Structure 1
Amino acid sequence: MDHLSTTHSCMEHLKSQNAKKSGIKKSGGKERPESSFVAFRAFLSSCDLFYIKHTCNFISRRVQKHSHLVHCHLDRTIGNNAWSDLFPRARSHYLIFEASDHRHIISTLDSKKKKSVRLFRYNRTLCDNLEITQLVKEIWNTSSACSVADKITRCRQAISTFSNEFYVNIRKLVQLKDSLDAALSASLPDDDSSLG
């Protein structure tokens, strides 16, 4: 790894207990002696490696150890100066807890937010929906002077509006996931709390 970091512009995800610079970014569990971090800090220093800036909650692992809950900043992204010169706006984004005791990390090389082009995705379950069928017929027949492309655009907009008003299950699912993430990120477990 020493050779790799000095000869290539590299980024590495370190996923081990030894990959911590210090025990400060941990709550719960047995405290590790300060001396256990010396070798890793020396490695980072000798290879000119440093942590990439991050967003969101960086406590990336949650695990139950015997009778106590441990949260720690285990997963990180590092790079060297040459790599940083190539990608000055690189960031790591910690996602929510989902189906694992680890938060997933997405590392982006360009942190500028790009305006996303929203795609229209037709939900096939709407084929049998009589309200949608009627809505499309009305728009198509009242827009007789419009081009086919304009009619399609109007139908898409109407279907999107209909879906936003009547299909709130996705919003409920997102809220439930947010509640779950908040519960999993809490310092103390609350087995009696209900999510939702």
Structure 2
Amino acid sequence: MSILSWNGRGAGSTETVQELQEIRRKYFPDFLFLMETKQKLSYMEGLKKDLGYDDLVTVEPEGLSGGLAVMWKKNFKVEILVCDKRIVDCKVGMGSLSFFLTCVYGDPVVARRRVVWDRLMVLAVTRDEAWVLVGDFNELLNNEEKSGGAVRVESSFWDFWHMTSSCKLRELRSFGNSLSWAGWRDRVWVQCRLDRSFGNDEWYNLFPRSQVEYMDMLSSDHRPIKVCFSYEPENVRRGRFFFDRRMLGKDGIEEAVRRGWAGGGSDVGVDLMERISNCRKELARWKKSSGANSQDRIVIIKSSLQSEIARHAPDAERMRFLKRELSVAYR
């Protein structure tokens, strides 16, 4: 099972929707937590349907900013306990098991951040079952969780650390680049670990192999993070052909279809399914010989973009160029 959390900086942009569709195709997480949706309920209902989710709870944006959404599959029984612009807290049932899930969007304003930590400490008082927290906390535990920019005084981390300690939370083990946010601050490229996940002792007892994957940073200045908390067998279907609409208009695609259709001969008695089968084979050969698998170019562009982001002084124009190229490659 899995939970995906992402500050996508606008669920209505073409690039964000493309990335969500790609995440859905590859992983289809059981829960999807989106921050800064900047969209009202009617739009999010449509997005929920497009992504294949069954249920949804939202927090409306304020003007042109804010907005939260949590989507989930119907095989989970979800009771919403708290729902506001900083916290969506719920109790999740799955068969005979249950746990608490708290989706957190830390306040961007430093002076108001402690209010969120105080609220989480109040929740912790009654949490005697498994509890997992995930989201963009907008805060660090120490200076080692940032690259670039001014060094912060140690006392500035105390409130956040005190909350995790008081709630008896432990950070879930992770892999990937954990510097989950990147941006320019006073002409300096800064990267920070803002997005993360914590669990209490009961969570670790129930799901001891829980882990977080920090994914690629593409259309947003935040990386999506994926929390996996049970064994998930992958249904790898090898050797099957699936038509990719992005092949349309490519050089040689029409000729490949014509060859496949004519492959059964001109006899009107040739079975329709045989002609379709021949078309599949020709398209598969075309993809292999021309290197036209649309994923190849996407992988190359993603790799180039991640390499540029990871530099201490990345080229802003090159990052914009690569993001444009990635958007085109997804079409």
TM-score normalised to structure 2 length: 0.49
Contact 1:91 1:108 in 2 (8 A): yes
Aligned ranges for residues 51-70 of structure 1 at < 5 Å? 51-70=171-190
Tell which deviates more after alignment, 65-74 or 154-163. 154-163
| 1:171 Cα deviation after fit | 1.2
Cα shift at 1:14:
4.0
1:9-20 matched pairs, under 5 angstroms: 9-18=130-139, 20=140
CA contact (8 A) 1:71 1:187 kept: no
Structure 2: tracts of 5 or more residues without a match: 1-119, 266-270, 326-331
Residues 47/154 of structure 1: CA separation in 2 closer, same or farther (3 Å cut): farther
The superposition leaves residues 127-163 of structure 1 with CA deviations (integer Å, 9 ceiling, x where unpaired) of: x71222213432x45xxxxx99888666534422322
Task: Give the corresponding residue for 1:29.
Answer: 149
Would you tell me which structure has more helix in proportion to its own residues?
1
Which residue of the partner structure matches residue 164 of structure 1?
A: 288
Structure with the largest fraction of strand: 2
Q: Percent identity?
A: 26
Deviations 1:37-80 (A, max 9, x none): 22322221221211111121111010101121111111111111
Counterpart of 1:175, as a letter, is I
Deviation at 1:94, TM superposition (A): 1.1
The structure 2 residue matched to 1:96, chosen from 216, 225, 230, is: 216
2:205 is aligned with 1:85:
yes
Shift in CA distance, 51/157, structure 1 to aligned 2, threshold 3 Å: farther
Aligned length: 188
Structure 1 contact 90–111 (Cα < 8 Å) conserved = no
Give 1:1-196 correspondences, 5 Å limit: 1-5=120-124, 6-18=127-139, 20-111=140-231, 114-117=234-237, 120-123=241-244, 125=248, 129-138=254-263, 140=264, 156-166=280-290, 167-191=292-316
Larger radius of gyration: 1
Rounded Cα–Cα distance in structure 2 between residues aligned with 1:23 and 1:39:
14
Note the residue ranges of structure 1 that are not aligned, 5 or more in a row.
142-146
SS at match of 1:17: coil
Higher mean C-alpha deviation, range 106-115 or range 175-184:
106-115
Q: C-alpha separation between the residues in 2 aligned to 1:151 and 1:87?
A: 50
Between the two structures, name the one with larger relative contact order (CA 8 Å, sep ≥ 6): 1
**TM-score, reference length from structure 1:** 0.79
- Aligned alpha-carbon RMSD (Å): 3.0
